[in-house]
Amino acid sequence: MITHKVILGMALSIVFVSSPSFGSPGTGRHNVKKATAAKSVFGKMADGTTIDLFSLTNAGGTTAKLISYGASLESLSVPDRNGNFNDVVLGFDDLKEYLGEHPYFGATIGRVANRIAKGKFTLGGKEYSLAINNAPNTLHGGKEGFSRKVWKGEIIGGSAGASVRFTYVSPDGEEGYPGTLKATVVYTLTDQNALQIKYTASVDKTTIVNLTNHSYFNLAGSGSILNHVLYLNADKYTPVDSTLIPTGEIAPVRGTPFDFTAATAIGARISQVAGDPGGYDHNFVLNGPAGRLKLAARVSEPTSGRQVEMWTTEPGVQFYSGNFLDGTNKGKQGAIYAKHGGFCLEAQHFPDSVNHANFPSTILRPGSLYRQQTVYKFSTK
């Protein structure tokens, strides 16, 4: 329930009725006892278009900041076991850095996440060609995918917590994809320390769609993620060729360095993963039915005690260990993001699904609604 609105210059603040206590460990120092949502200006594009910043804060003081450029998660401040808050996602302090080259920090990815082999697919007997932006393949929607679009953002009410809704209309033919597609992404920060992301999309012509969020997490707030301990609820994965395109095989993880069915440090067997520059960048086939919210992954960081669970309705998750981070991008407060400085858990359909009949379909037809829900739930141990 919204109790009041205050407009001061360019800022909009909304306060939501909330429970009197947070209910999660390690937050007593910042117990604000109410959920709030605020809108301000993050920056301006060269043509004068305003990029909005939305700040969502829950009753315990956890804060998620989102920007309308790429419908991106810019920061996420959560407590450790002692109640000390740190930003646990990689990103930038200003718009200029987001407009430059970077590895999709926090962005909403579309129209199709992950890779499409050689930038080609066929629908209804017609072949479509996409931009090759990750030679020899298409990656994350093309040269200017959803991560580089200005979305319309608005604060919305709801019983779950403070929320912001982003919408974007992708015209027919954009980046080579057929059909005009309307996409919506709603972020909600709950008082249970969960960041919920709900996606919907509709189209006027048969197309393909596969949306995800590309946040890089570091539960310590800095340094390497190789000591983070990972559990994946996946007995199988999809092996890839030298260009990271799935071979079409769905293989068991047992007896391989891809077996995280028992919680294991990310760095324990990473040297056994072939390829250049080495590390994990693979799709895992989640146990349980697609379309139903289920536990996909759990990651803990021993020093801070922070833990995150990812729940999703998607059939797969791309686990990426930040292999291509090389210090080129200077992040928030001058942070240097070195190799393995963050990890991604990207809930999605499998890579190159449109070219593999045995993979879950990414085809969306007129009259059907694409739905996806992913939740990142934080706690301490």
List of E strands, 88-215: 107-109, 115-116, 120-123, 126-129, 138-139, 152-156, 161-170, 181-190, 194-203, 207-208, 212-214
| Residue 111 · residue 177 · CB < 8 Å | yes
Question: Which member of 30, 102, 140, 214 is catalytic?
Answer: 214
> What strand order describes the sheet that includes 370-380?
152-156, 161-170, 181-190, 194-203, 370-380, 306-312, 294-300, 229-232, 264-265
- Pairwise CA distance, residues 161 & 340, whole Å: 33
- Pairwise CA distance, residues 257 & 207, whole Å: 35
Count of other CB atoms within 10 angstroms of residue 45: 12
∠ CA 284-369-291, rounded to 5°:
35
| Residue 116 · residue 352 · CB < 8 Å | yes
Instruction: Return the H-helix or E-strand segment holding 135.
Output: none
Query: Which residue, 17, 9, 69, is CA-closest to 39?
Result: 9
| Residue 332 · residue 75 · CB < 8 Å | yes
Does the annotation count 346 as an active-site position? yes
Tokens of 351: 């890579």
Question: Which member of 30, 346, 349, 356 is catalytic?
Answer: 346
Catalytic positions: 214, 346
